[in-house]
Amino acid sequence: TTTNIKVDFDQSTGVAVMYMQSPPVNSLSLDFLTEFCINLEKLEMDKSCRGLIVTSSQPKVFSAGLDIMEMYGKSPEHCGEFWRAVQEMWLKMYSSNMATIAAINGSSPAGGCLMSMTCDYRIMADNPRYSIGLNETQLGIVAPFWFKDTIINTVGHRTAEMALELGLLFSPSEALKIGLVDQVVPEDQVLTTATQAMTKWLAVPDHARQITKSLMRKPTLDKLTSSREADIQNFVSFITKDSIQKSLRVYLEMLKKRKG
């Protein structure tokens, strides 16, 4: 089996770095998400691990978001299982007791943007070729309510409304301006900056930071926890519609054509 995730845990600092390494673009497949969650759970249970930095081993891409092939031409059962794994990743990351920082060293559309927004802090490489945002409407699909809630919690209601409806992808400097990322730094300094930022987060007593994080995020988390099955049903009936499958096919063809 392949390894989609590599974890470097530094006992002396209590900080783990999780590298996403699923070529070519770290798309979030069922296997990837399962492995991601297993690794996350291990770190979460380890009392000596207080901080987590998530980054990419792939050049130019943080994560291309959900693996479209998991939603295209698949059975309702498969789609349901896939969606449960997406929910699990979001629930675990958004509620993590660790201080979490996304070191966004490449493009981060859709599910990649969602994953980075689950973190406490975001640092992005200043390369103008990279972009970040929830571009779902551009694919003819609709970001679910908990994607919407997460971006509202990050950038505020009006900015989120416009970004979601237009399916906007932002350059690093634009993302910084609207608060979608917290810091933009030269490409080769993303990880070191994340490590420096982490010391600030870990200087706060853990219990105070954790309870405060929970205060901020619990209402949003509870909404999905209490409606997981309905959300899966919703996703499956939406994504298996002929018209939506057609949109995905058109989008996939566009992705292939755009190459080279």
**Where on the chain is the footprint of ligand CO8 (CB under 6 A)?**
24-25, 27, 60-61, 64-69, 107, 109-111, 135-136, 139, 141-144, 235, 238-239, 255-256, 259
The answer to whether residues 48 and 11 touch, using CB atoms and an 8 Å cutoff, is yes
22/100 with CB nearer ligand CO8: 22
Q: How far is the CB of 237 from ligand CO8 (least distance, A)?
A: 10
Q: Which amino acid is at 227?
A: S
120/231 with CB nearer ligand CO8: 231
At CA 146, angle to CA 217 and CA 30, rounded to 5? 110
User: CA-to-CA distance for 40 and 35, rounded, in angstroms?
Assistant: 9
The answer to whether residues 133 and 167 touch, using CB atoms and an 8 Å cutoff, is yes
Q: Which amino acid is at 80?
A: G
Active site residues: 66, 111, 135-136
Q: How far is the CB of 132 from ligand CO8 (least distance, A)?
A: 10
The answer to whether residues 124 and 183 touch, using CB atoms and an 8 Å cutoff, is yes
Residue 66, classed as helix, strand or coil, is: strand
Q: What tokens were used for 246?
A: 């057609």
CB-closest chain residue to ligand CO8: 65
Could you tell me which of 67, 58, 68, 10 has the C-alpha nearest to residue 34?
67
9/238 with CB nearer ligand CO8: 238
143/181 with CB nearer ligand CO8: 143
Residue 24, classed as helix, strand or coil, is: coil
Q: How far is the CB of 62 from ligand CO8 (least distance, A)?
A: 9
Q: How far is the CB of 97 from ligand CO8 (least distance, A)?
A: 26
Q: How far is the CB of 209 from ligand CO8 (least distance, A)?
A: 29
Whats the size of the chain, residue-wise?
A: 260
Looking at residue 46, what DSSP letter applies? -
99/175 with CB nearer ligand CO8: 175
User: CA-to-CA distance for 87 and 94, rounded, in angstroms?
Assistant: 10
Query: Which DSSP string corresponds to 183-194?
Result: EEE-GGGHHHHH
